[in-house]
A and B are shown apart, each in its own frame.
Chain A
């Protein structure tokens, strides 16, 4: 076993996902199969090999720090599940 159901439930908590017991069971089996498959990377000797995080060797993309128009507030709020006309509204954070 590459991954246990407890680990899957832990990762789900980190990712803010709720899994039903049935989902947790199914995902554990599927993730285990996938992780067993990706374990073939262990065969590859990567000593001294750099990591690729970006396929073009671009360093920083700088631009002038100029003030430009940004998204108007009413547009930013247009898709809000809840708002008060000025800000997004969310359930109470501290009880």
Chain B
């Protein structure tokens, strides 16, 4: 096996044992990127020289006896996270030439842990989309099948991890943007509890829903990344001051004493039969591992897409008001008056999906419609959260598919916004309730496309998710299967 195909945990062990150097590891990954990037198109910005310098520094530090959870490990990050030394475009023309004056807290944490950040990867513009087709610069392609979507919005992260173009990546998840591309590209992706990971320096889409999380080749790597990024940050007033466990210790063999709830509403109409079969087989494996399986109900699930597509655009319309061409971002230089400059800069800087969501959000918050739309959605959000509270009184975690179908062809849904929104139906509720959720590979379709299982747990119960995901991974035998590239 080539060293770029190792898991993060394996690479870390080889580095610790002195079998390889970070420079060799980084050169191998850069070679891999050269080899497959024309096909994958994940990287918006690749900092080769910076990465090699960081790798040499990591090797020096190791010689001096210094350690770090990610010392010398090459990673990528979604282009929604602010990086002082690299552009941060959010996949938008609006921020095409923007290099932030500071690092996001999670970037600081990666750097403190010694990571080698290779570059920034593609995403739907401002994280709005389910396929990464809304990226203004390039559309990443599913490593498992030419011409198929990676999912989104963290599609570049998922594709880069699956294609061995980095050992892990950070994504962001507002309605499934980590879990869904992880599922469609056959990797592990976790959306932590809201408040578990700092959002400082994460470019805001919908602030009450956004959360940063790891995208990795396996569950052990996910736990390791969580150890590095989780924790309180005084610069994010919504981050929660609560002790961070060692997540790698959650990977216990066996599921004895764990009760798994199967929500009937997540196995409804529109679920691809192959996805259902694969997930049900995974449930059987968890039962064989010792888990008890119970049926539960989340009766308001059918309203989650409607709630989400009012609340997320409402928050987005407010957050994206900052892009006015004054302090940073694109400015239309021909505009003669201030108002004209605002309008021209925003109209030329934003793509279609972003404009559509700003319009929905502005409408839902506007005088005369606020009660009917935003307030109503916020009330139903309470009912969705209550559904979870009642379900978690009866079980430790909920198991379901991540996405109703495997990956689809690029272009297939891009003209039908509502059809695209409905593909998020199984992932949105976790964001509305703020609970943690993980996507783990559990099988393949007859076309050879990956299928993922979603697990959701109560607030701050990431550990039970990692344990269940680890047990599924041990039995499903899917992790380690690689797409054939180059």
The answer to whether A11 touches B363 (Cβ under 8 A) is: yes
Question: Smallest CB–CB gap between A32 and chain B, Å?
Answer: 10
Q: Which residues of A have CB within 8 Å of B330? A: 81
CA distance A63 to B343 in the complex (A): 38
Chain B window 400-441, contacts with chain A (Cβ cutoff 8 Å), 1 for yes, 0 for no: 000000000000000001100100000000001111000000
**Given contacts A58-B240, A91-B336, A91-B340, is CB(A52)–CB(B417) below 8 Å?**
no
With beta carbons under 8 angstroms apart, the residue of A16, A50, A79 that contacts B328 is: A79
- A15 is an interface residue with CB less than 8 A from chain B: yes
The answer to whether B341 touches A31 (Cβ under 8 A) is: no
Name the residue on A nearest B339 (C-beta): A16
The answer to whether A75 touches B101 (Cβ under 8 A) is: yes
With beta carbons under 8 angstroms apart, the residue of A27, A82, A92 that contacts B355 is: A27
Q: Which residues of B have CB within 8 Å of A17? A: 343, 346-347, 350, 355, 358-359
16 A-B contact pairs sorted by A residue (CB < 8 Å): A3-B363, A14-B362, A15-B359, A16-B346, A17-B359, A38-B306, A38-B377, A44-B380, A46-B383, A51-B382, A55-B433, A55-B435, A56-B194, A56-B459, A81-B326, A93-B338
CA distance A93 to B340 in the complex (A): 10
CA distance A71 to B300 in the complex (A): 45
- B234 is an interface residue with CB less than 8 A from chain A: yes
Instruction: Report, nearest first, the 3 A-B pairs whose CB atoms are least far apart.
Output: A55-B434, A81-B331, A79-B328
Question: Smallest CB–CB gap between A43 and chain B, Å?
Answer: 8
- B111 is an interface residue with CB less than 8 A from chain A: no
Give the dominant DSSP class at B's interface. Answer: helix
With beta carbons under 8 angstroms apart, the residue of B238, B300, B358, B380 that contacts A54 is: B238
CA distance A23 to B351 in the complex (A): 12
With beta carbons under 8 angstroms apart, the residue of B237, B327, B350, B435 that contacts A79 is: B327
The answer to whether A16 touches B303 (Cβ under 8 A) is: no
Question: Smallest CB–CB gap between B419 and chain A, Å?
Answer: 10
With beta carbons under 8 angstroms apart, the residue of A7, A63, A81 that contacts B325 is: A81
